[in-house]
Amino acid sequence: MQFSKRLDLFGPEIFAALNDKKVALEQQGKALYNLSVGTPDFPPAPHIKQALIDAAQSDENWKYSLRDIPEMLEAVCAYYKRRFGVEGLTPDQVMSFSGSQDGIGHLGMTLCNDGDLVLLPDPCYPVFMTGSLLGGAEPWYYHLTKENHFLPDVSAIPDDVADRAKYMLVSLPANPVGSVGSPELYREIVDFCRKHDILLIHDNAYSDIIFDGKVGGSVFNTPGAEEVAVEFFSLSKSFNVTGARISFLVGRRDVVAACKKLRTQIDFGMFLPIQKAAIAALTGPLDGVRAQCAEYQRRRDALCGGLRGIGWDVPDSHGSMFVWAPLPGGYTNSMTFCMDLIEKAGVICTPGSSFGPSGEGYVRFALTMPVERIQAAVSAIAASGILG
């Protein structure tokens, strides 16, 4: 059978290869420290779980939802005012997706025609590339460099490229590199997109995981962004509901309407008990979210400080639940290093090569274990001799 040539656009699934190695070592009884996949190990708040349980008791809630219920859309608008200070959002500027990955993965199919050019960060989360390629677009990578603190530099994008671009995808705080934007940077990006008539797509999954006293915001804190931008806002990392797949696209009405049109062809809507859980998260207390951020910072300190203490010069992440680490001396291939690290130390991380052309030379760690386990992982790396 001849399968779709679209599959040829994608390489092997890195997480599957890492998991195969993990399973093999577990069967041998080896102690493992899994810092690869960014799934929070914190529990959801009780009121969120209870809202889902209560809603699941109703037989009516097991039918197709067919829509985002008004209470949930209104809760998103109210949350943006409460959490980000963004006023004026209306329900027709909001729609749900089954996770930001689903939304971004379908974005190119909604927005692009074959040959359209799109601006993507490099390194970036793999679905940024997937979504554009599925839409037939041509990715143009703007590089996130160590010299520029892994932040977008719109001045480095040529005018002729910018004039061709259909959309620009920006992720801050950034997965995998852990960089955090400033109001000044958002101003530069918004002005750039307005000048060149580019749709700005902001992935805002990690706005509640920012370190060293800074507070995350929304692209809509920047005046004028409402004219050029949409934002993916996720409950997964802030409220520890990754498996429930709750995300929203917020912003320009025309873009939201176009995405809704595509979704009606492939989906019958978010499960109603999950919509009720989303409402509970959006309208409930946020003190647990803030306490969780402080715990992520302690984990960041334990990992980055601990690795520096054993001779691996890993800079501190500024945000997100990830650490972007340059390969230690003697290694030039990130996948080779990851396999050696699992074999010798039992520590699982993700090769930078899976995050785009500029990701080679780095690995990504996820801050998904308690401080004590992270300290044990650092000790295992030190004892393995892998650092030379």
Domains 5-43+288-384 and 46-283 share a fold: no
| CATH of region 46-283, choose from 3.40.50.720, 1.10.10.10, 3.40.640.10, 3.30.930.10 | 3.40.640.10
Are 176 and 352 in contact by the 8 Å Cβ rule? The answer is yes
Phi, psi (rounded to 5 degrees) for 237 = -85, -35
- Average pLDDT, consecutive stretches of 10 residues, N- to C-terminus, the chain (388 residues): 82 71 79 90 97 98 97 98 97 96 93 96 94 94 96 98 98 96 97 98 97 95 97 96 97 97 92 98 97 98 98 97 96 94 94 93 97 98 93
What is the reported pLDDT for 315? 97
CA pair distance 59, 323, nearest whole angstrom: 44
Residue 12 pLDDT: 64
Which CA distances in Å does 18 have to 15, 67, 307, 355? Answer: 5, 38, 22, 15
Q: Domain spans of the chain?
A: 5-43+288-384, 46-283
CA–CA gap between residue 241 and residue 49 (Å, rounded): 9
The domain covering 5-43+288-384 belongs, at the CATH homologous superfamily level, to Aspartate Aminotransferase, domain 1 (3.90.1150.10)
pTM: 0.94
Residue 207 CA to residue 180 CA, distance in Å, equals 9
DSSP three-state, residue 334? helix
The tokens describing 325, both together, are 């680490």
Which string of b and e fits 19-52 if b means at least 16 CB within 10 Å? Answer: eeebeebeeeeeebbbbbebebeeebbeebeebb
Specify the pLDDT at position 280: 98
DSSP H or E stretch at residue 184: helix 183-196
Kindly state the tokens that stand for 129.
């590339």
What's the pLDDT score for residue 330? 87
The sign of the CA dihedral 363, 368, 371, 373 is negative
Residue-level pLDDT at 86: 98
Residue 149 DSSP class? T
Give pLDDT, residue 2: 86
pLDDT of residue 18: 75
Task: Specify the pLDDT at position 139.
Answer: 96
Of the candidates 139, 143, 137, the one whose C-alpha atom is nearest the C-alpha of residue 122 is 143
Count Cβ atoms below 10 Å from residue 6 Cβ, excluding itself: 11
